[in-house]
Structure 1
Amino acid sequence: MSHVLNDAADFADEAADGFVAAHPGLVRRVRGGVARASATPDGQVAVVIGGGSGHYPAFAGLVGPGIAHAAAMGNVFASPSAQQVHAVAKAVATDAGVLLTYGNYAGDALNFDQAQEQLRAEGIACETVRVTDDIYSAGPDEREKRRGIAGDLTVFRVAGWAAEQGRDLDAVTALASRANERTRSIGVAFSGCTLPGADEPLFTVPAGHMAVGMGIHGEPGIETLRLPSAAELATMLVERLLGERPDHAGDRVAVIVNGLGSVKSEELFVLYGGIAAALTAAGLHIVDPEVGEFATSFEMAGVSLTLMWLDDELERAWQAPAYTPAYRKGVVVLDAERTTADADALDDEETIAEAGPEAAAAGRAAASALSAVRAVIDREADELGRLDAIAGDGDHGIGMQRGARAADTAAGEAAGAGAGIGTVLTRAGDAWADKAGGTSGALWGMGLRAIGERLGDAAAPDPRAVVAAVAAARDAVQGFGKAQVGDKTLVDALVPFAATLAERVDAGAGLADAWRDAAAAATAAAQATADLLPRMGRARPHTEKSLGTPDPGAVSLALAATAVAAALDEHRGQKEKEN
Structure 2
Amino acid sequence: SEGIDVRILPVTDDVASAPAETSAKRRGIAGDLVVFKIAGAAAEAGKSLDEVERLARHANDRTVSFGVAFGGCTLPGAAGPLFTVPKGQMALGLGIHGEPGVSEETIATASDLAKLLTGKLLAERPEGSRKVAAVLNGLGSTKYEELFVLWTAVARQLNDAGLEIVDPECGEFITSLDMQGCSLTLLWLDEELEALWRAPTDAPVLRKGVIIAAEPATDEIVDADGPQSFGPASDASKESGKCIARLIGNIAEALKEAEEELGRIDAFAGDGDHGQGMRRGSAAAFDAAQTAVVAGAGAASVLAAAGDAWADRAGGTSGAIWGLALRSWSNALSDEDKVSDAAIVKGSRLALDGVTRLGRARVGDKTLVDALVPFVETLERESAAGRPLVEAWDAAAKAAQEAADATSALTPKLGRARPLAEKSIGHPDAGAVSLALVARVAGAFLREAAAG
Per the normalisation by structure 2, the TM-score is 0.92
Aligned letter for 2:332?
A: R
Contact 1:133–1:149 (CA under 8 A) maintained in structure 2: yes
Matched, 1:436 2:309: no
Of 528, 540, 563, the residue aligned with 2:441 is 563
User: What is the Cα deviation at residue 181 of structure 1?
Assistant: 2.3
Change (3 A) 1:292 1:422: same
Contact 2:240–2:299 (CA under 8 A) maintained in structure 1: yes
- Greater CA drift, 345-354 or 496-505: 345-354
Q: Which position in structure 2 is the counterpart of 1:345?
A: 224
User: What is the Cα deviation at residue 320 of structure 1?
Assistant: 3.7
Aligned letter for 2:123?
A: G
Matched, 1:141 2:6: no
Q: Which position in structure 1 is the counterpart of 2:72?
A: 192
User: What is the Cα deviation at residue 189 of structure 1?
Assistant: 0.5
Change (3 A) 1:352 1:540: same
Q: Which runs of 5+ in 1 are unaligned?
A: 1-116, 575-579
Q: Which position in structure 1 is the counterpart of 2:338?
A: 460
Q: Which position in structure 2 is the counterpart of 1:577?
A: none
Q: Which position in structure 1 is the counterpart of 2:208?
A: 329
Q: Distance in 1 between matches of 2:192 and 2:379?
A: 58
Matched, 1:156 2:47: no
In the TM superposition, 1:292-371 aligns within 5 A as 292-332=171-211, 334-335=213-214, 344-346=223-225, 348-351=227-230, 353-356=232-235, 358-371=236-249
Q: Distance in 1 between matches of 2:286 and 2:376?
A: 23
User: What is the Cα deviation at residue 249 of structure 1?
Assistant: 3.3
Matched, 1:268 2:147: yes
Aligned letter for 1:317?
A: L
User: What is the Cα deviation at residue 340 of structure 1?
Assistant: 12
In the TM superposition, 1:84-99 aligns within 5 A as none
Q: Distance in 2 between matches of 1:469 and 1:333?
A: 48
Matched, 1:239 2:119: yes
User: What is the Cα deviation at residue 292 of structure 1?
Assistant: 1.0
Q: Which position in structure 2 is the counterpart of 1:177?
A: 57
Contact 2:230–2:301 (CA under 8 A) maintained in structure 1: no
Q: Distance in 1 between matches of 2:9 and 2:442?
A: 40
Of 89, 106, 116, the residue aligned with 1:209 is 89
Q: Which position in structure 1 is the counterpart of 2:12?
A: 132
Matched, 1:426 2:304: yes
Q: Distance in 2 between matches of 1:475 and 1:506?
A: 19
Aligned letter for 1:144?
A: A
Q: Which position in structure 2 is the counterpart of 1:252?
A: 131
- Greater CA drift, 476-485 or 334-343: 334-343
Contact 1:352–1:414 (CA under 8 A) maintained in structure 2: no
Matched, 1:538 2:416: yes
Matched, 1:376 2:254: yes
User: What is the Cα deviation at residue 347 of structure 1?
Assistant: 6.0
Deviations 1:332-387 (A, max 9, x none): 3625687999762136511464532x434333332222222112111111111111
Change (3 A) 1:188 1:462: same
Deviations 1:120-174 (A, max 9, x none): x34x5x5554432211111101222222222233333333444444444444433
Q: Which position in structure 2 is the counterpart of 1:390?
A: 268
Contact 2:138–2:174 (CA under 8 A) maintained in structure 1: yes
User: What is the Cα deviation at residue 314 of structure 1?
Assistant: 3.0
Q: Which runs of 5+ in 2 are unaligned?
A: none
| SS of match in other structure, 2:432 | helix
Matched, 1:222 2:102: yes
Contact 1:354–1:417 (CA under 8 A) maintained in structure 2: no
Deviations 1:11-57 (A, max 9, x none): xxxxxxxxxxxxxxxxxxxxxxxxxxxxxxxxxxxxxxxxxxxxxxx
Change (3 A) 1:424 1:208: same
Contact 2:233–2:336 (CA under 8 A) maintained in structure 1: no
Matched, 1:290 2:197: no
Task: Work out the number of aligned pairs and report it.
Answer: 452
Per the normalisation by structure 1, the TM-score is 0.73
Q: CA RMSD in A?
A: 2.4
| SS of match in other structure, 2:13 | coil
| SS of match in other structure, 2:267 | helix
Change (3 A) 1:408 1:166: closer
User: What is the Cα deviation at residue 227 of structure 1?
Assistant: 0.8
Aligned letter for 2:81?
A: P
Contact 2:233–2:335 (CA under 8 A) maintained in structure 1: no
Contact 1:249–1:309 (CA under 8 A) maintained in structure 2: no
Aligned letter for 1:363?
A: G
| SS of match in other structure, 1:390 | coil
Contact 1:421–1:455 (CA under 8 A) maintained in structure 2: yes
Q: Distance in 2 between matches of 1:172 and 1:485?
A: 35
| SS of match in other structure, 1:455 | coil
Q: Distance in 2 between matches of 1:170 and 1:569?
A: 51
Aligned letter for 1:522?
A: A
- Greater CA drift, 168-177 or 421-430: 168-177
Aligned letter for 1:264?
A: K
Deviations 1:515-551 (A, max 9, x none): 1121111111110111111111111111111111111
| SS of match in other structure, 1:297 | coil
Aligned letter for 1:537?
A: G
Contact 1:352–1:417 (CA under 8 A) maintained in structure 2: no
Q: Distance in 2 between matches of 1:285 and 1:236?
A: 19
Aligned letter for 1:467?
A: V
Q: Distance in 1 between matches of 2:368 and 2:124?
A: 34
Contact 1:253–1:308 (CA under 8 A) maintained in structure 2: yes
Change (3 A) 1:492 1:160: closer
Contact 2:372–2:435 (CA under 8 A) maintained in structure 1: yes
Aligned letter for 2:151?
A: Y
Aligned letter for 2:292?
A: A
Q: Which position in structure 2 is the counterpart of 1:403?
A: 281
Deviations 1:311-346 (A, max 9, x none): 334333333433333323333362568799976213
Change (3 A) 1:197 1:455: same
- Greater CA drift, 146-155 or 199-208: 146-155
User: What is the Cα deviation at residue 437 of structure 1?
Assistant: 2.9
